Amino acid sequence: MKHKEPIPVTVLTGFLGAGKTTLLNHLLTQKHGYRCAIIINEFGAVSIDNQLVVGADEEILELNNGCLCCRVRGDLIRSLGELFKKQKRFDYVLIETTGLADPGPVAQTFTVPELADKLRLDAIVTVADAKHLEKELGDAPEASAQIAFADVVLLNKTDLVTPSALEHVEARIRRINPLARIHHTLRSQIEPAKIFNLQARGLGPSFTMENVVPVDHAAEAEAHEHEHDHDDDHHDESDAEHGHEEPHHHHHDERVGSICLTDDHPLDLQKTEAWLGELLSTIGPDIYRAKGILNVRGQSKRIVFQGVQMTFEAQPDRLWRAGEPRLNQLVFIGRELDEAQIRAGFANCHADA
């Protein structure tokens, strides 16, 4: 079975109970023009989710031996290979992970040689529970990773929170991942065009940094200080003194966050390559995502940069337009990243440094 172009793959992830299976069912009942193969990963030996998925005409494979992580990535590779051996027609793959999955190893799977010419990771879509995400981010590292790796976040169950609480949780998502597109949803209902074939992981002319929203960390910190005021009418003096002990207040896991770099200094290619190589060798596993546009001295084209954990790549994009500011714009998303160190290393890449 030969394909002219690699078949796109969308990974659906999100914490337990966020609405992933509801989203999958919704997508399979919509007219989107794709014939989908489905891979469902369940944690445990008894299969439940596949019994909840509609669309009997779809090709469904199950992985029942744990999370889609490094321990079972081989099983995912074999399962994807089996899809082609079955000789059944499909032109899209949807993978629903368990709520405890780290999307990183799943994303890495599509870089292995035996899959790279057949399949391409199109996007990671994370479903987030608007009511419970704050607590999940504080309690479970998987929740932070799922937000950090996302190309699209469906902020689901928005009817269960107040407008101010919704604004706050969206700001929290932006603080972790300014790259992701955020859509508000009820019962995971969304237009298929906002999920399918986004080419969010691709390089080339379609790449843009326009969706990157700079985060005002000072404002976010202030909002964090006052978030215990949400949904409460009055507090007595004792409550005010112990506001951070309120049951509904959840301390954030600050280990996962984003760093945005922007300047107009042309870069030296050799210095930049050396710096990225150093990042890979020292903190590569802690960089969940990286994305950017580089202005390299002597290059008439933008250089588009992408990274997922231990894989970085860059290639020429379109020509810089006349009058267009030749800016370097980079975003790093990861765990316990040393912002001062990264900024200093980047500054050393300037052609005039």
Rounded to an integer, what distance in angstroms lies between the CA atom of residue 249 and that of residue 242? 11
Distance CA 120, CA 10 (A): 9
In a domain, 275, yes or no: yes
* pLDDT tier, 165 (very low <50, low <70, confident <90, very high otherwise): very high
Flag whether pLDDT at 292 surpasses 80: yes
Q: How far is CA 287 from CA 231, 276, 279, in A?
A: 36, 12, 9
Residue 43's CATH number: 3.40.50.300
| Greatest mean pLDDT range, 71-80, 161-170, 222-231 | 161-170
Query: Which of these three, 164, 194, 224, is where a domain ends?
Result: 194
DSSP state of 1: -
Whether pLDDT at 95 is above 70:
yes
What phi and psi, each to the nearest 5 degrees, are found at residue 243? -55, -35
Q: What is the DSSP letter of 112?
A: S
Model-level pTM? 0.77
pLDDT at position 65 over 60: no
Position 102 confidence tier, pLDDT thresholds 50, 70, 90: confident
Tokens at 29, concatenated? 């009942």
Domain boundary among 194, 224, 244: 194
* Whether the Cβ atoms of residue 163 and residue 171 lie closer than 8 Å to each other: no
**CB atoms near residue 1 (< 10 Å):** 11
* The residue to which tokens 């997922």 are assigned: 308
How many structural domains compose the chain?
Answer: 2
Task: Give residue 8's pLDDT.
Answer: 95
Domain assignment present for 205: no
Q: State how far the Cα of 46 lies from the Cα of 64, in Å rounded to an integer.
A: 7
Of 47 and 102, the structure prediction assigns the larger pLDDT to: 102
Q: How far apart are CA 343 and CA 261, in angstroms?
A: 7
| CATH number where 267 lies | 3.30.1220.10
| Residue span of the structural domain in which 109 resides | 7-194
Average pLDDT value for residue range 332-351: 94
Whether 287 and 149 share a structural domain: no
Please write the tens of the pLDDT for every residue from 226-262.
444 444 443 333 333 333 333 333 334 468 899 999 9
Q: What is the pLDDT of residue 205?
A: 47
